[in-house]
């Protein structure tokens, strides 16, 4: 986090190339001046003139490749630049005639890409002036917008394990320390059998785990970690399970009153997620449906110690019409797919007031199906399991007075 509290580690590598970009800019500027002189003259163009431009494009391609490989996770903007520069390189290599029109076409492409590289460098180095709200603090308005996706990596079990969940958590045993968990389901998309814990973000990236556990069995991708315990739906039942992350022992099992299970009212496009746990600034929640609610979403606040239901709210939103849901500061947000690359947060339910709302906040996807979304109040981010890939999103909130 930088001094303004905004995430910055994804930009650090780009900042390291600022001077390199400036150097390449100067070289391209010199070639541009020569081309402008050639435009005004009647001198014929030579292979050498053309190769100078080819050299500049090659250097730009090398730079964007370095940026692409040095960034942690993927960056949509840099990926787009990479494709455009590669296309330009292919175009140059396939040109058959070194005439004035070809030179001018290449010059225009170089100028466009140079401007985009400048914009990329500028955007990555400036601080985004969004209001900052400390983690754990709910003195803000609703979610205002969501960042581009940051693809972290493929889950540790491999590409075939498309269902699962991941997130960050803290433990009373390590106060102030942010840790990570990854729980791919078996390839049937139903059974939760294995999960891993990581002591740091670096450990996660290196697939270095502090613990790898096996359980018998969880169901669906609706698990959550809170205060050194995992909460999940026990396979083949409407029961909630609580596992101690230090010992991997099941310390408590209790039915969720009236909850349907066994894929009766799961999310759209994601099976076996009838019971979905969520964590926000105030504690543990569970999102589910009942026969009495006719499949509409029901939200219950759960006592994390006893698994007793503290309070329950019923919404008017049909759960199988929702692709996933999460809770932030006592507000439920629900998503739905728009197409294979975009999801929309379209619905909200304020648990504090009972007020429902219609939204349209776009969430870009890396792949087609989102299997789970977990909000972390530790860093105010969404942790998304997207067809086997671990993806993260930053959130921006409206100021309190705009609510």
Reported as a single tens digit per residue, the pLDDT across 280-337 is 999 999 999 999 999 999 999 999 999 999 999 999 999 999 999 999 999 999 999 9
Residues 156-168: what's their mean pLDDT?
96
Residue 24: HSE in the Cβ half-sphere, 13 Å Cα cutoff: 24
pLDDT given for residue 173 in this prediction? 76
At 14, the pLDDT band (50, 70, 90 cuts) reads low
What is d(CA 215, CA 209) in angstroms, rounded to the nearest whole number? 17
Q: How many CB atoms lie within 10 A of CB 78?
A: 19
Q: Which of 84-98, 107-121, 239-253 has the lowest mean pLDDT?
A: 84-98
Higher pLDDT, 179 or 17: 179
Pairing of strands 355-364, 370-376: unpaired
What is d(CA 13, CA 229) in angstroms, rounded to the nearest whole number? 35
**pTM value?**
0.69
pLDDT given for residue 22 in this prediction? 53
Residues 204-218: what's their mean pLDDT?
94
Secondary structure in 3-state letters for the chain: CCCCCCCCHHHHHHHHCHHHHHHHHHHHHHHHHHHHHHHHCCCCCCHHHHHHHHHHHHHHHHHHHHHHHHCCCCCHHHHHHHHHHHHHHHHHHHCCCCCHHHHHHHHHHHHHHHHHHHHHHHHHHCCCCCCCCCCCCCCCCCEEEECCCEEEEECCCCCCCCCEEEEEEEECCEEEEEEEEEEECCCCCCEEEEEEEECCHHHHHCCCCCEEEEEEEEECCCCEEECCEEEEEECCCCEEEEEECCCCCEEEEEECCCECCCCCCCECCECCCCCEEEEECCEEEEEECECCCCCEEEEEEECCCCCCEEEEEEEEEEHHHCCEEEEECCEEEEEEECCCCEEEEEEEEECCCCEEEEEEEEEECCCCCEEEEEEECCCCEEEEEECCEEEEEEEEECCHHHC
- Residue 198 phi, psi (nearest 5): -125, 135
At 71, the pLDDT band (50, 70, 90 cuts) reads low
| Residue-averaged pLDDT of the chain | 82
Residues 203-211: what's their mean pLDDT?
93
What is d(CA 60, CA 110) in angstroms, rounded to the nearest whole number? 9
Q: Which of 26-30, 169-173, 180-184, 227-231 has the lowest mean pLDDT?
A: 26-30
Instruction: Please say whether the beta carbons of 292 and 210 come within 8 A.
Output: no
Angle between helices 100-125 and 47-70 in degrees, nearest 10: 20
Kindly tell me if the per-residue pLDDT of 402 is higher than 60: no
Hey, which CATH number is domain 142-398, 3.90.1070, 2.60.120, 2.120.10, 1.20.120?
A: 2.120.10
Domain spans in the chain, listed from the N-terminal domain onward? 11-123, 142-398
């Amino acid at each position: 986090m930088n001094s303004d509290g905004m995430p910055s580690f994804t930009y650090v590598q780009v900042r390291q190339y600022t001077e390199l970009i400036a150097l390449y800019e100067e070289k391209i500027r010199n070639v541009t001046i020569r081309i402008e002189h050639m435009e005004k003259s009647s001198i014929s163009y030579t292979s050498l003139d053309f190769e100078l431009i080819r050299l500049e494009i090659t250097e730009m391609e090398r730079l964007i490749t370095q940026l692409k490989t040095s960034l942690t996770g993927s960056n949509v903007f840099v990926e787009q630049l990479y494709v455009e520069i590669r296309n330009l390189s292919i175009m140059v290599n396939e040109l058959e005639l070194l005439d004035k029109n070809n030179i001018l076409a290449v010059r225009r492409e170089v100028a466009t890409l140079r401007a985009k590289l400048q914009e990329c460098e500028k955007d990555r180095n400036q601080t985004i002036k969004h209001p900052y709200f400390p983690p754990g603090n709910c003195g803000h308005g609703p979610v205002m917008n969501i960042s581009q996706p940051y693809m972290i990596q493929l889950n540790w079990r491999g590409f075939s394990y498309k269902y699962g969940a991941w997130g960050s958590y803290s433990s009373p045993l390590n106060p102030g320390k942010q840790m990570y968990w990854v729980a791919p389901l078996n390839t049937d998309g139903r059974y939760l059998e294995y999960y891993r814990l990581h002591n740091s973000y670096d450990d996660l990236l290196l697939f270095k785990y502090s613990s790898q556990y096996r359980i018998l069995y969880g169901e669906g991708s609706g698990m959550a970690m809170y205060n050194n315990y995992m909460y999940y739906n026990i396979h083949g039942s409407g029961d909630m399970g609580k596992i101690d992350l230090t010992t991997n022992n099941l310390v408590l099992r209790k039915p969720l009153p009236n909850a349907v299970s066994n894929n009766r009212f799961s999310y759209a496009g994601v099976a076996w997620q009838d019971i979905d746990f969520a964590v926000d600034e105030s504690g543990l929640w569970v999102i589910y449906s009942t026969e009495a609610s006719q499949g509409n979403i029901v939200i219950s606040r759960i006592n994390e110690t006893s698994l007793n239901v503290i309070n329950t709210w019923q919404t008017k939103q049909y759960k199988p019409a929702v692709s996933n849901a999460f809770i932030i500061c006592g507000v439920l947000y629900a998503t739905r797919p728009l197409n294979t690359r975009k999801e929309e947060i379209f619905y909200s339910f304020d648990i504090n007031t009972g007020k429902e709302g219609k939204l349209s906040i776009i969430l870009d996807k890396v792949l087609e199906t989102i299997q789970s979304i977990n909000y972390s109040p530790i860093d105010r981010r969404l942790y998304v399991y997207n067809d086997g890939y671990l993806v993260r999103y930053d959130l921006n909130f409206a100021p309190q007075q705009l609510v």
